[in-house]
């Protein structure tokens, strides 16, 4: 699969841009702040319906505009596809697939599959658990798009259950909770929903972790050139070992955990167990990567996670589009050449760099210059 065209209207710094792309390597160079990252961010948004740089859509709309429009044309061995996304200010976004409006935008997920390397990836190793959960969930949806619905259902239940816990806590403080202040019957309904959707999401993450484990270890060795082993384990909140991906057992365990923390949840007004509190533990050698890995080791591991995702996605058929956003500037010479060798055979690679010399010669291909919100073929 490759992107054949990417057109933007009022997206970030671009009033309008229209770039025709081909298989192989395309490099976008230009000074910092000219809009290189905005291009790969737009392409990744078509694949994931989210930005790797911001948590909400509002910053994606060009200042003074009411909406942004993304159009991405894809070509694969089986079909050509066109995804059009209208990002709206203060109302729901709209999506069309091959000119047909979709009642649920997530139905277009999986049309474009990509793997994006970016400086922000260091947070997957050094940052909080939510960064690693996001990595798993986005990859899970890319491989099995139905999990977009599972994740959306779980998030909805979590919001409702948290709101109920906060109300119960407030009632206790105002003396309206009848002493116990529990509202147990209402909570039990949401417990059932949380268990159902939470067990399904956890099982998907566990299956994905098992598939990623050997791929990430192999990629780390290739990028770093080190003999150190790497490991990853899925850590459920409230337990030390990694459970099996047995949905019935996971549901039972989650229900037991909810019962155990019920009093604490009512006292604090928050949901204390579930996939939203789980973590993907990463190790280099025998030590946790977070807090112990050097800067170079952390970069190598972050790259290994993305390379593992790429290998897993391509095993399902078409190559995903690889995007390397200002990554080479962060790497020493050895790691640059190793990474270039690992990705040079991909069907399509999009590279951004402020300094053209940072891009290894192995990744020669189409060259574009980006300046002042415009893209020119070099």
Report residue 175's pLDDT band, with 50, 70 and 90 as the boundaries.
low
Same domain, 154 and 243: yes
Judged by phi (left if over 0) then psi (alpha if -120 to 50, else beta), residue 10 lies in: left
Same domain, 275 and 126: yes
Instruction: Count the alpha carbons within 13 Å of 293 in the hemisphere toward its beta carbon.
Output: 28
Same domain, 280 and 324: no
Q: What is the pLDDT of residue 154?
A: 98
Q: What is the DSSP letter of 3?
A: E
Nearest residue to 344 (alpha-carbon basis) of 371, 322, 373: 322
The label of the residue with tokens 């955990």 reads 257
Measure the CA–CA gap between 81 and 109, rounded to whole angstroms.
Answer: 12
In the three-class reduction of DSSP (H, G, I as helix; E, B as strand; rest coil), residue 194 is classed as: helix
Same domain, 128 and 143: yes
Same domain, 64 and 102: yes
Q: What is the DSSP letter of 61?
A: B
Measure the CA–CA gap between 335 and 288, rounded to whole angstroms.
Answer: 22
Same domain, 363 and 262: no
Same domain, 3 and 147: no
Q: Indicate which CATH number applies to the domain containing 258.
A: 1.20.1050.90
Domain boundary among 300, 317, 334: 317
Share the mean pLDDT of the chain: 93
Q: What is the pLDDT of residue 180?
A: 47
Same domain, 303 and 171: yes
- Neighbour-count burial for 181-201, b at 16+ CB within 10 Å, e otherwise: bbbeeebeebbebbbbbbbbb
Judge whether 87 and 60 are in contact, CB under 8 Å. Answer: yes
**Percent of the chain residues topping a pLDDT of 70:** 97
Alpha-carbon distances of 200 from 62, 195, 327, rounded to whole Å: 38, 8, 35
SS3 content of the chain, % helix, strand, coil (to 5): 45, 25, 30
Same domain, 130 and 93: no
Could you read off the pLDDT of 27-39 as tens digits, one per residue?
999 999 999 999 9
What mean pLDDT comes out for the span 249-261?
Answer: 95
Same domain, 58 and 133: no
Q: What is the pLDDT of residue 177?
A: 52
Domain boundary among 282, 297, 317: 317
Same domain, 108 and 132: no
For the cut 90, the answer to whether the pLDDT of residue 185 exceeds it is no
Q: Indicate which CATH number applies to the domain containing 91.
A: 3.40.50.300
Same domain, 310 and 325: no
Could you read off the pLDDT of 327-351 as tens digits, one per residue?
998 888 888 999 999 999 999 999 9
> ∠ CA(148), CA(152), CA(158), 5° rounding?
145
What mean pLDDT comes out for the span 361-370?
Answer: 93
**Residue 349 φ then ψ, to 5°:** -130, 125
Q: What is the pLDDT of residue 179?
A: 45
Q: What is the pLDDT of residue 56?
A: 93
Could you read off the pLDDT of 260-315 as tens digits, one per residue?
999 999 999 999 999 999 999 999 999 999 999 999 899 999 999 999 999 999 99
Domain boundary among 282, 317, 352: 317
In the three-class reduction of DSSP (H, G, I as helix; E, B as strand; rest coil), residue 229 is classed as: coil
Burial class (CB in 10 A: 0-12, 13-18, 19+), 50: middle
Q: Which of 91-95, 170-174, 256-260 has the lowest mean pLDDT?
A: 170-174
pTM over 0.85: yes
Measure the CA–CA gap between 152 and 71, rounded to whole angstroms.
Answer: 24
Q: What is the pLDDT of residue 183?
A: 54
For the cut 70, the answer to whether the pLDDT of residue 182 exceeds it is no
What mean pLDDT comes out for the span 61-80?
Answer: 94
Q: What is the pLDDT of residue 61?
A: 97
Determine the structural domain holding residue 58 and report its residue range: 1-113+320-378
Helical residues (DSSP H) of the chain, grouped into ranges: 36-48, 122-126, 129-143, 147-174, 184-224, 247-260, 262-268, 295-314, 333-343
For the cut 80, the answer to whether the pLDDT of residue 150 exceeds it is yes
Structurally, how many domains does the chain consist of? 2
> What's the chain's length in residues?
378
């Amino acid at each position: 699969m490759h992107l054949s065209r990417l057109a933007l209207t009022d997206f970030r710094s671009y009033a309008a841009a229209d770039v025709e792309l081909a298989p192989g390597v395309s490099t976008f160079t230009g000074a910092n702040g000219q809009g290189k990252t905005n291009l790969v961010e737009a392409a990744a948004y078509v694949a994931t319906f989210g930005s790797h740089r911001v948590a909400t859509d509002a910053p994606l709309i060009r200042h003074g505009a009411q909406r942004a429009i993304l159009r991405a044309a894809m070509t694969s061995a089986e079909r050509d596809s066109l995804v059009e996304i209208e990002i709206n200010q203060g109302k729901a976004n709209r999506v069309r697939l091959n000119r047909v409006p979709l009642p649920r935008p997530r139905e277009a997920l999986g049309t474009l599959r990509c793997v994006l390397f970016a400086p922000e990836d260091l947070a997957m190793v050094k940052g909080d658990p939510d960064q690693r959960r996001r990595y798993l969930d986005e990859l899970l949806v890319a491989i099995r798009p139905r999990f977009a619905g599972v994740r959306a259902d779980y998030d909805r239940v979590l919001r409702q259950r948290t709101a109920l816990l906060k109300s119960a806590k407030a009632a206790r403080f105002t003396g309206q909770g009848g002493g116990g202040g529990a509202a147990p019957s209402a909570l039990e309904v949401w417990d059932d929903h949380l268990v159902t959707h939470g067990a399904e999401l956890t099982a998907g993450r566990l299956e994905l972790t098992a598939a990623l484990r050997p791929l990430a270890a192999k990629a780390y060795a290739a990028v770093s050139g080190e003999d150190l082993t790497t490991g990853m384990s899925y850590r459920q909140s409230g337990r030390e070992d990694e459970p099996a991906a047995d949905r019935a057992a996971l549901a039972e365990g989650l229900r037991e955990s909810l019962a155990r923390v019920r009093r604490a949840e009512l006292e604090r007004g928050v949901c204390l167990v579930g996939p939203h509190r789980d973590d993907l533990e990463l190790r280099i050698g025998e030590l946790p990567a977070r807090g112990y890995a050097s800067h170079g080791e952390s970069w190598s591991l972050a790259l290994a996670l993305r390379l593992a995702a790429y290998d897993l996605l391509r095993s399902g058929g078409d190559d995903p589009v690889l995007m390397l956003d200002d990554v080479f500037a962060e790497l020493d010479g050895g790691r640059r050449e190793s990474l270039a060798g690992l990705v040079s055979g991909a069907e399509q690679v999009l590279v951004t760099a402020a300094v053209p010399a940072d891009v290894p010669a192995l990744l020669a291909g189409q060259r574009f210059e980006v300046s002042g919100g415009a893209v020119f073929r070099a």
